[in-house]
Chains A and B, each alone.
Chain A
Amino acid sequence: GAVVSQHPSWVICKSGTSVKIECRSLDFQATTMFWYRQFPKQSLMLMATSNEGSKATYEQGVEKDKFLINHASLTLSTLTVTSAHPEDSSFYICSASGRVGQGNEQFFGPGTRLTVL
């Protein structure tokens, strides 16, 4: 149990286009989902926290108009990178939590590698 999927696993896009990444909790209801960004050989940096049905809470320095997060259901959250530029190239990882009795443990998706040309 506690499986989180991401789609796509990798994507290449042209500069200026938008890219949508999906994060799904496959076997549990995720009341909270988190989006992280990981640069090569660096740690994960939390970008935003989203609760189902609410606006996402962004970390300091993360542009909310550039990284649009939607958490419309208890099993799906999406991250849209708008007007992507090469500096947005990174590994994006989502996690989901919400299992009662699990101490709100975060379960991580496999990540999406975004390359912007």
Chain B
Amino acid sequence: AQSVTQPDIHITVSEGASLELRCNYSYGATPYLFWYVQSPGQGLQLLLKYFSGDTLVQGIKGFEAEFKRSQSSFNLRKPSVHWSDAAEYFCAVGGVTGFQKLVFGTGTRLLVSP
């Protein structure tokens, strides 16, 4: 069965500093991988996705993620964090049809300090 692990429950980053959120997955075949962001009391917004091809994917709001099959990882990065990036970030893996049957990690809460 698919599973997603986000080892960091929360992370604090200074505004302007770089960010990396970790995500490890377990899936038998080539996974479909996603990062979503959730602001307090709101639904999820898709930041980026990996289906195939280039392992470095660019997303919205300046985020990128790199798929590393050998490490079963799909870490999210941003070179310079803004205060508005403070939110909950979820990594997810999809089944053979991509977006269907998404399995989410437990999330990482990002705090941005001045």
Contact = CB atoms under 8 A, between A and B. Distances in A.
B99 A106 contact: yes
Nearest to A113: B41
A108 B45 contact: yes
Given A43-B90, A43-B104, A104-B98, A93 B43 contact: yes
Contacts, number: 52
A111 B99 CA distance: 19
Contact of A103 (B44, B51, B105, B107): B51
Contacts of B100: 32, 49, 97, 104
Q: Looking at chain A's contact residues, is the secondary structure mostly helix, strand, loop, or mixed?
A: strand
Interface residues of B, number: 21
Contacts of B99: 97, 103-106
A4 interface: yes
A109 B43 contact: yes
Contacts of A19: none
Nearest to B46: A105
A111 B41 contact: yes
Interface of B: 36, 41-46, 49, 51, 90, 97-107
